Copies of this chain bind each other. A is one copy, B any other.
Amino acid sequence: MKIPRPGLPVRGSKTGQPIMALLDLLGRSWAMGIIWHLYNGPSTFRGLQDYCESISPNTLNTRIKELRDCNLIKRTMEGYALTEYGEELFELLQPMGPWARNRWTESFKTDDPNSL
């Protein structure tokens, strides 16, 4: 699949708006999970495989390549790690954790249809 880049057309958007390219990139299987995991520290290829319980090496490889090409992760001596950009992005994603745990989970418990 074509690697998205801000400024170039991507899957579903001919304008190349940076946000569309970013959503395309992050909306691929495991992309956000990899970023999420790497915030805990560098991880080897096989460490990532273990974390993403059902990813295939092909897919992981592809995703790694894409994320590297897009400046979000890099190789280090301890394995793959977030770049400074990757860390910034993670910090934007981070609030989703508490929101999912607290608010979103709660939405499944409501029987009041008006609240949706």
Binding site for B on A (CB under 8 A): 5-7, 11-14, 17-23, 26-33, 36, 52-55, 70-71, 74, 83-85, 88-89, 92, 95-97, 99-101, 103-105, 107-108, 115-116
How far does the Cβ of A33 sit from chain B's closest Cβ, in whole Å? 6
Enumerate 29 A-B pairs (CB-CB under 8 Å) in ascending A order.
Answer: A6-B100, A6-B101, A6-B104, A6-B108, A7-B105, A11-B29, A12-B33, A12-B54, A17-B101, A18-B105, A19-B96, A19-B100, A23-B33, A23-B36, A26-B32, A27-B28, A27-B32, A27-B33, A71-B104, A74-B116, A83-B107, A84-B115, A84-B116, A85-B103, A85-B104, A88-B99, A88-B103, A89-B96, A92-B99
